[in-house]
Copies of this chain bind each other. A is one copy, B any other.
Amino acid sequence: MPAKRNDVPSRVRVRREPKRGRYDRSSIDDVLDRGLVAHVAFVDGDQPVCIPTLYARVGDLVYIHGSTKSRAVRALAGGAPACVTVTVVDGLVLARSAFEHSANYSSAMLFGAFTLVEDADERTRAFEAFTEKLLPGRWDEVRQPNATELKATEILALEIDEASAKVRSGPPSDDGSADAELDTWAGVVPILRSYGAPEPSPGLRPGIDVSESVRRLLTRDPPG
């Protein structure tokens, strides 16, 4: 994985605000591991389509899954060029000028083509990764996929190869400008995420307490 801007393929290079670009795997993995939903773009005819989907990273791979009947899954499984983008927003950037207003965020963008995961063990590990990404520790608490469920689901993998991250952090950029003389308050308002009280399913049998994974979850920061 190239870590310097000049080593990366042209389509990955961050052109706008190049100082925000990151090409090292740890920056990319950090965004992928903080995010919960990816937006996956592919082309259907000449129409780009951008679908939100859950995902999980395992090592060098990003997995997504979907019904065997899904149009997106069929297109992506066929090797259509794809772009996977994950974005986490961390705050509102409030400058003295309208123009310099922005958001603090981290995003990762991956290019490539998905391949269909056919190996039974890898498919099970991907299911485990999806479950564990939603809720660490959950896989061991739940019924694992049965033959019917496995048959109804395609799992697709994309290698993290052509990838970049883009990060904007810190205060508004007009501190050093003439605008800093204005009487306007400027700064950042963080956007925080937290988990609410667990809501038991209406059909939950009486006497079943929240599981250990849920108890632990409430002490963590949620994904972006």
User: Taking beta carbons and an 8 Å cutoff, which residues of A are in contact with B?
Assistant: 11, 15-16, 36-37, 39-44, 46-52, 54, 66-67, 69-71, 81-85, 87, 89, 91-92, 94-99, 101-103, 105, 107, 109, 111, 127-128, 130-131, 134-135, 138-139, 141-146, 149, 153, 171-172, 174-176, 179-205, 208-211, 214, 217-218, 222
**Alpha-carbon gap, A133 to B195, bound state (A):** 25
The smallest beta-carbon distance between A83 and chain B, in angstroms, is 4
Residues of B within 8 A of A171 (CB): 199, 201-203
Closest residue on chain B to residue A93 by CB atoms: B134
Please determine whether B194 and A208 come into contact, CB atoms closer than 8 angstroms: no
* Contact yes or no, B81 A46, CB < 8 A: yes
Q: Which of B16, B49, B98, B194 is within 8 Å of A69, CB to CB?
A: B16
Additional A-B contact list (6), CB under 8 Å, known A16-B66, A99-B127 = A11-B49, A16-B67, A97-B142, A171-B202, A183-B208, A185-B204
Complex Cα distance A199/B188, Å? Answer: 5
Q: Do A143 and B15 touch (CB < 8 A)? A: no
Can you offer 8 A-B residue contacts whose CB atoms are under 8 A? A39-B39, A46-B81, A101-B131, A142-B184, A187-B198, A189-B196, A190-B196, A191-B196
**B residues within 8 A CB of A195?**
92, 189-192
Q: Is the interface of A mostly helix, strand, loop or mixed?
A: mixed
Complex contacts, A153 vs chain B, CB 8 Å? 99
Q: Is the CB of A184 within 8 A of B208?
A: yes
**How many angstroms from the CA of A130 to the CA of B180 in the assembled complex?**
21
> B201 to A172, Cβ gap below 8 A?
yes
Residues of B within 8 A of A89 (CB): 36-37
A48:B47 contact, CB within 8 angstroms:
no
Lowest 10 A-B CB distances belong to which pairs?
A175-B203, A190-B196, A41-B41, A41-B50, A39-B39, A41-B48, A52-B87, A171-B201, A99-B149, A50-B85
